[in-house]
């Protein structure tokens, strides 16, 4: 179904369930192709009890099935991933030292750092 991913890569690390949106994974597949380096998904779909979701007032983009954190090895990968994600219309992009968060939020586009 996907060129670069297996849906199991997006399962919740807390409970093992997986409600990632196939349309989102298809977009990530295209992003991975454009970037030209392997993507390691460090966080995909998250259940409501996942430690990162449980502290939120309302569930976030990961719980909605339209977000992923992608490991980056260095600044070159980080820049390429952010640049292409923005070019492709991902509306949520968060930049950390070791990963980049991308999502398909339906609200005002945002860019942040961790």
Note the pLDDT tens digit of each residue in 28-75.
999 999 999 999 999 999 999 999 999 999 999 999 999 999 999 999
Q: Are 77 and 96 in contact (CB under 8 A)?
A: no
Closest C-alpha among 61, 66, 9 to residue 38: 9
Residue 1 confidence (pLDDT): 84
Which residue shows structure tokens 């454009």? 34
**Side-chain-side CA neighbours of residue 64 (13 Å):** 13
Q: What is the share, in percent, of the chain residues with pLDDT greater than 90?
A: 99
Domain positions in the chain are 7-113
Judge whether residue 88 has pLDDT over 90.
yes
**Side-chain-side CA neighbours of residue 59 (13 Å):** 13
Judge whether residue 77 has pLDDT over 90.
yes
Q: What is the CATH number of domain 7-113?
A: 3.30.1380.10
Mean pLDDT of 83-105: 98
What is the pLDDT of the chain when averaged over all its residues? 97
35 Cβ partners below 8 Å, 6+ apart? 77, 80, 81, 84
Q: What is the share, in percent, of the chain residues with pLDDT greater than 70?
A: 100
Judge whether residue 109 has pLDDT over 90.
yes
Helix (H) or strand (E) holding 103: strand 99-103
The token pair that represents 102 in the structure block: 């991308």
Q: Are 70 and 41 in contact (CB under 8 A)?
A: yes
The band of 95, judged by pLDDT with boundaries at 50, 70 and 90, is very high
- For strands 110-113 and 92-95, give the pairing: parallel
């Amino acid at each position: 179904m996907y060129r670069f991913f297996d849906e199991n890569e997006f399962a919740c690390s807390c409970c093992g369930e997986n409600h990632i949106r196939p349309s989102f994974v298809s977009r990530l597949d295209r992003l991975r192709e454009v970037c030209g380096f392997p993507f390691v998904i460090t966080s995909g779909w998250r259940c409501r009890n996942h430690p990162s979701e449980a502290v939120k007032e309302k569930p976030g983009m990961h719980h909605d099935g339209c977000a992923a954190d992608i490991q980056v090895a260095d600044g070159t990968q980080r820049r390429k991933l952010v640049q292409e994600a923005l070019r492709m219309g991902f509306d949520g992009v968060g930049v950390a030292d070791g990963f980049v968060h991308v999502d398909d939020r339906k609200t005002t586009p945002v860019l942040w750092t961790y």
